[in-house]
Amino acid sequence: MSLSRTRLIGVFVVAGALAFATGSTAVAQPTAPPAKRTNSCTYKLLPKTAAKTLTVKTASANIRKLPGVGCQLLKTVPKGTKLNGTGGNAQVGTSHWQQTTAGWIASSQVH
């Protein structure tokens, strides 16, 4: 066995012994899913909820391709518009968004 291979094996043996001696029980921990990023849209998908009808409660509301005010605007709808919610939810900063069959809408704009 070469000298460099012997040193490498020795390093692994020492590292394993140190981990054992210190009682290390390091286990890979699950991490939160990373935020999705598409162009200027960064958002975090949240658990789905039951699909329901959403009604616009403000004078008008923007429907976007993805959640977030920086995402592509698809259309603007007036107060009272009924939208079919899919149950999709997302968070952008501190704001929450709901997915509809028409696109994404800020939760603060509907009830």
pLDDT tier at 21, thresholds 50, 70, 90: low
Please check the confidence at residue 37 and state whether its pLDDT lies above 60: no
Residue 27 domain-assigned (yes or no): no
Q: How many domains does the chain have?
A: 1
Identify the domain containing residue 85 by its residue range: 36-109
Is the pLDDT at 90 greater than 60? The verdict is yes
With CA atoms as reference, report the closest residue to 24 among 14, 34, 32, 16: 16
Q: Is residue 92 part of a domain?
A: yes
Percent of the residues in the chain that have a pLDDT greater than 70, as a whole number: 64
CATH number at residue 90: 2.30.30
User: Does some domain include residue 8?
Assistant: no
Question: Mean pLDDT score of the chain, rounded to an integer?
Answer: 82
Answer yes or no: is 3 within a domain. no
